Structures are given as C-alpha cells and as structure tokens.
Amino acid sequence: MRKKARFPGIYLGIILALMYVPILLVIIYSFNESRISSVWSGFSLRWYRDLFRDKDMLEALINSLVLATVSSLSAAVIGTLAAVGMPRVKLRGKSVVEYISTLPIMIPEIILGMVFLVYFSLIRLPFGMITLTVAHTSFCIPYIYMLVKARLVGIDKSYAEAAKDLGANEWNVFWDITLPLILPAIASGVLLSFAMSLDDVVISVFVTGVNTNTLPIRIYTQLKTGVTPKINALSTLMFAATLLIIMLSTWFGRKTTLSVKRRNT
C-alpha cells in the first residue's frame, strides 16, 4: 500500500486558515480601544456602544432587514408556485421563460444593476424601497425555484396519486402533501435569499433612492471615504448573523444547498 501523503491535509489547512485571517482581524480590532486600528491599546466595547447610538446605522439596519424579509418571502411565493406548476402546464415557450427567469443570477451583477436603474426610471418606479424590493426579489426567485424544483424531483409521485384516488383535488394535494414535503427546501431557499439580499451591494447601489440606505450601502460608502472602528463592530455582528443563518439553513436543508450562491462576493 502506498504511503498516505501528508501534503493535501497541510494544503487544505493553510488555504482555510488564510480565508479566515481577514475576518478574524476585523473581529479582533472591533474590541480595540484605540481609534487607529493598527495600534492595539486594550480591550473595549466602546465601538459597539457607539454603533447602537448611531441613528443612521440603525435605520439602515432596519431597511436591510425589511428589504430582505419582503424580497425573500415574495420570491418564496412566486418561486414555489412556479416550481410546482411548471411541470404541469402546457405553454409554448415554457422552457424559454424558465431560462430567462434564472438570468438574474447568471448575468454579471453590475449589468443587472444597470438595466434596473435605466428601466425603473423609464417606467417611473419611485427609487427607494420599492425598486430595491423588486430588484432583490428578481435574484431571490431563481434560488427558491431551483431548490424547490430539485426537491420536487425527489418526491414519490404515488403520494399525490393516492390522494387523488381518494378524492382530493389539485389544491388539497398541494396543501396537504406537496407543501409539507417541499417545506424544507422553501425554508432553506428563503434563508439563502435572505442572506443574499442582506449582503447585496452592487445592485442596491444602483437602484436605491437618494435617501434610502441599506447596511451594505452604508458600509460601502464608509469603506470608500473613511472608516471608523464602528464598522468593525458592525462587521462582527454581521459575521455572527451569518453564522446563525448558516446553522439554521444547514438544519433546514441538505448541506449541499448552501453551495448555491450568487457570484457576488
């Protein structure tokens, strides 16, 4: 038997460690007393205190949470209904529409942001939470659709047939049989969409209104202009939220569903 090589394990370890370095630094410095982040002057929670007193930041946080909730839930309704209905309708060009509906996660984000900006001003949709919601819903739908579709493939058709033989109509079958079976897929899809919406910078920068800020937009402007350690504190909290969402999502669905993510980074 050939000797088991040590190198792969070491390589995996080094790369993984490198991935955590930037994140750990942000977390460590969020507890730093000093304003200048390159100097460590002692443990302190002052930046967290400052953060919770920052009204603009809190408003941006609320906006982000509302936006993520509304977009992921609307996408859940649209995506789930379509994933269930698509295989059963006979419409011409069905597969084309299906393909086009997944375009928002296939094309570069910057293009999506750009087309939304010009289109929303063409149809005179007021820029702000409305445009943000439409844009975010557009890239949340494909995730839910794909996850539910994948789950539906794995469901035994005989359940639905048995129910129909016993006199259930299409609606009963959906509500009592299909829905409970696909619920884990919907739940993990909603969590993914929620995280995606919460993290989106590129599209949001384009479609937001003058006075509407989301958390990523605020952070983006701060990173560009000048950072205060408050951002460290905020980032640490966002990291904690990410961990929570991952844990929930893993709990709801198969682990593999997590590997579905937009190309945005």
Residues 35-54 close enough to bind other proteins by CB under 8 A: 37-38
The Cα–Cα gap between 197 and 256 comes to 20
Q: What is the nearest approach in angstroms of other proteins to the Cβ of residue 42?
A: 17
Which residues are paired to 32 by β-bridges?
43
Which residues are paired to 43 by β-bridges?
32
Q: Which is nearer to other proteins, 31 or 206 (CB)?
A: 206
* 65, 73, 150, 181: which one binds other proteins (CB under 8 A): 150
The Cα–Cα gap between 173 and 28 comes to 53
* 86, 130, 163, 177: which one binds other proteins (CB under 8 A): 86
Q: And the tokens for 229? A: 């350690």
Q: What is the nearest approach in angstroms of other proteins to the Cβ of residue 53?
A: 21
Using rule CB under 8 A, residue 29 touches other proteins: yes
Using rule CB under 8 A, residue 244 touches other proteins: no
The Cα–Cα gap between 257 and 250 comes to 8
Is residue 108 within 8 Å of 264, Cβ to Cβ? no
Q: Which is nearer to other proteins, 48 or 109 (CB)?
A: 109
* 138, 197, 208, 213: which one binds other proteins (CB under 8 A): 138
Phi, psi dihedrals of residue 253, rounded to the nearest 5°: -130, -175
C-alpha 186, offset from chain centre: 13
Among 48-56, 78-86, 155-163, 178-186, the segment contacting other proteins (CB under 8 A)? 78-86
Q: What is the nearest approach in angstroms of other proteins to the Cβ of residue 80?
A: 9
Torsion (CA) 227, 130, 194, 257 in degrees, nearest 10: -120
The Cα–Cα gap between 17 and 11 comes to 10
The Cα–Cα gap between 20 and 232 comes to 15
* 137, 188, 193, 214: which one binds other proteins (CB under 8 A): 137
Among 46-54, 111-119, 154-162, 179-187, the segment contacting other proteins (CB under 8 A)? 111-119
Q: At what angle do helices 179-199 and 215-225 cross, to 10 degrees?
A: 20
Q: What is the nearest approach in angstroms of other proteins to the Cβ of residue 219?
A: 5
Using rule CB under 8 A, residue 111 touches other proteins: yes
Using rule CB under 8 A, residue 185 touches other proteins: no
The Cα–Cα gap between 262 and 248 comes to 19
C-alpha 193, offset from chain centre: 4
The sign of the dihedral angle between the CA atoms of 79, 82, 86, 92 is negative
Q: What is the nearest approach in angstroms of other proteins to the Cβ of residue 126?
A: 15
* 230, 231, 233, 253: which one binds other proteins (CB under 8 A): 231
Q: Which residues, numbered 112-131, are part of the site for other proteins (CB under 8 A)?
A: 114-119, 122-123
Q: Which residues, numbered 189-228, are part of the site for other proteins (CB under 8 A)?
A: 195, 198-199, 201-202, 205-206, 216, 219-220, 223-224, 227
